[in-house]
Amino acid sequence: MRASRLVAVFGLLFALLPCAVAVRAQDAGPAFADIASDNFNRIEAGITALAGSGAPTAAPTLEALAEGRLFFTPSRDLFLKDKAGATFDARTGAAVTEAPGGLKPVRVNNRIRRAIDAALGTLTLLSPDPAKRRAAAEAVFKSRDAAALPALEAALAKEQDAGVRKLLARARAAVVIADKSAPEGARVAAVEVLAERGDQDVLALFNTVKADAPPALKTTVEAGVAAIERRMQLLEGVQNAWYGLSLGSVLLLAAIGLAITFGVMGIINMAHGEMVMIGAYTTFVVQEVIRTRFPGLFDWSLAIAVPLAFLTAGAVGLLLERTVIRFLYGRPLETLLATWGVSLMLQQAVRSLFGPNNREVGAPAFMSGSTEVLGVSVAYGRLWIVVFGLIVFTALFVVLRATSFGLKMRAVTQNRKMAASMGIRTPWVDALTFALGSGIAGIAGVALSQIDNVSPNLGQSYIIDSFMVVVFGGVGNLWGTLFAALSLGVANKFLEPVAGAVLGKILVLVFIILFIQKRPRGLFALKGRAVEA
């Protein structure tokens, strides 16, 4: 008997549920009517009333309005269309088999968009999903709609998540400080809350409030503006330093191979940039094969391309040394002209094979996107290039210091005749060293393909910078190359905002010229009998 009664009660509840929805929609009727208007003031008032009504169809209606999918008839009935084009009654949410005639879109301007953001934020402030509550707090912070204050107070009273609670407190402070009718003490307290956030949005809000603020509030706001500006200047310096380190890691990758060949053989290799280009095009070919045949391996494309780029560029470098450069030792100007001609030939060969247009090289998933660390934006792609540059530097340092080949290379660098008299085959050391430097340039091309256009002219963008790094750091010295690449990268990024990109590079070049006049061997000159002679 009791079970049958429970069944009857539940049946009655389910039967009355549509009626309850209809009643709530009916309560929001004036809000829907205001939105179905050509008057922006009425539309804004309707949006605020609809958000506060709690109608089940409020959120879909406001979302449709934000996306331009909300329409009204001459009789002030509202209809929305979903993304598939189906039509629904905005008040009840019921599907409409045949759309009525004379539909006009509800007009939206910037003021209405702010009202929509605030209303949607109000609707989701009490959502069980923390991510939605965060987004709602941000939306209210940006809109600063006083109508959202009661909902913010209610959400703050119930919020348990510390991070979301901080966002809600900042949103409430933004609403309070923007409300001229709020007590001055409350507005002063709001300034202190917002000063902790200290970003561009808060600075803009403070500057707006400062214009007609009472004396006490104005003093507090000015102190907050000064603190935020100091913090932003500090963050800008840190951001420039990070950009400089990332640029320095690119210069390191491009120059480290040149440091080896220039240091060991004294060869002015103008085709070094084309070895970088070969590595970039090797990456492109690897990705094309993976896209067409093994799409599941795309995130591994760069790992596959690194050894292939090293071998390809190294083989081209070995061929160049054996066929051209070995006949020109001791004649640096002729070597410069010969390698410049080779660089033009390699560029034309790539144009013939791949065309003159830029080629697309994609980024794996782990290199896409960015994050923020203590207010500094860090792109994952740049971060991985910095790490990759340090790995290549460490590996090369180990090869030079802990292998027999590295010992022979250093011996030839310091005293070629003495090394030959000890049985070291200096011609093969030269050839393998040139191949090693070219292979490392190919690896640099893999990294540069992620931040620059892959084109036949790719290497030309880095050849001059590479020579500057090598000469400034000390010919043939790896530690000098590392220090020079990072310091020149940071210097460029700090000069760019002041003097511009072009003038900044000119100033760096002038500095290096003056520095070389004082220290011709660079920062860290190699030592040895032949070198010092």
The C-alpha atoms of residue 333 and residue 351 are separated, in whole angstroms, by 27
* Contact residues for 132 (Cβ-Cβ < 8 A; gap 6+): 124
Predicted pLDDT of residue 307: 92
Predicted pLDDT of residue 25: 45
> What is the C-alpha radius of gyration for the chain, rounded to an integer number of angstroms?
34
The C-alpha atoms of residue 338 and residue 35 are separated, in whole angstroms, by 75
Predicted pLDDT of residue 525: 64
> Cβ(90)–Cβ(19) under 8 Å?
no
Output phi, psi for 237, to 5 deg.
-65, -45
User: Which residue in 318, 452, 311, 310 sits closest to 385, CA to CA?
Assistant: 452
Give me 516's structure tokens: 């070389």
Output phi, psi for 359, to 5 deg.
-110, 145
User: Which residue in 342, 343, 346 sits closest to 354, CA to CA?
Assistant: 346
Predicted pLDDT of residue 48: 76
Nearest 10 degrees: Cα torsion 247, 251, 253, 257:
180
Taking residue 69's Cβ as centre, other Cβ atoms within 10 Å add up to 20
> Which residue(s) pair with 71 in the sheet?
79, 105
> Cβ(395)–Cβ(256) under 8 Å?
no
Predicted pLDDT of residue 345: 92
What's the half-sphere exposure (Cβ side, CA atoms, 13 Å) at 376?
16
The C-alpha atoms of residue 419 and residue 431 are separated, in whole angstroms, by 15
Predicted pLDDT of residue 527: 57
CA-CA-CA-CA torsion sign (417, 418, 422, 426):
negative
CA angle at residue 49 from 44 to 53, to 5 degrees?
150
Predicted pLDDT of residue 416: 75
**pLDDT tens string for the chain (533 positions)?**
444 444 443 343 334 334 434 434 446 778 888 888 888 888 888 887 777 666 777 778 888 888 888 888 888 888 888 877 788 888 888 888 777 777 888 888 888 887 877 777 666 776 777 787 788 788 777 777 777 777 777 777 777 888 888 888 888 888 887 777 777 778 878 777 777 777 777 777 777 777 777 777 777 777 877 887 788 788 778 888 888 888 888 888 888 888 877 766 677 888 888 898 999 999 999 988 888 888 888 888 888 899 999 999 999 989 988 888 888 877 878 888 888 898 899 989 989 888 888 888 888 877 777 777 766 777 787 888 888 888 988 988 888 888 888 888 878 777 778 888 888 887 788 888 888 888 998 998 888 888 878 888 888 877 888 888 888 887 667 788 888 888 888 888 888 777 777 787 788 878 887 877 777 777 776 554 444 44
Predicted pLDDT of residue 113: 83
Q: How many residues does the chain have?
A: 533
Task: Please write down the HEC assignment for all residues of 10-52.
Answer: HHHHHHHHHHHHHHHHHHCHHHHHHHCCCCHHHHHHHHHHHHH
3-state secondary structure (DSSP) of residue 275:
helix
> Cβ(57)–Cβ(92) under 8 Å?
yes
The C-alpha atoms of residue 438 and residue 74 are separated, in whole angstroms, by 74
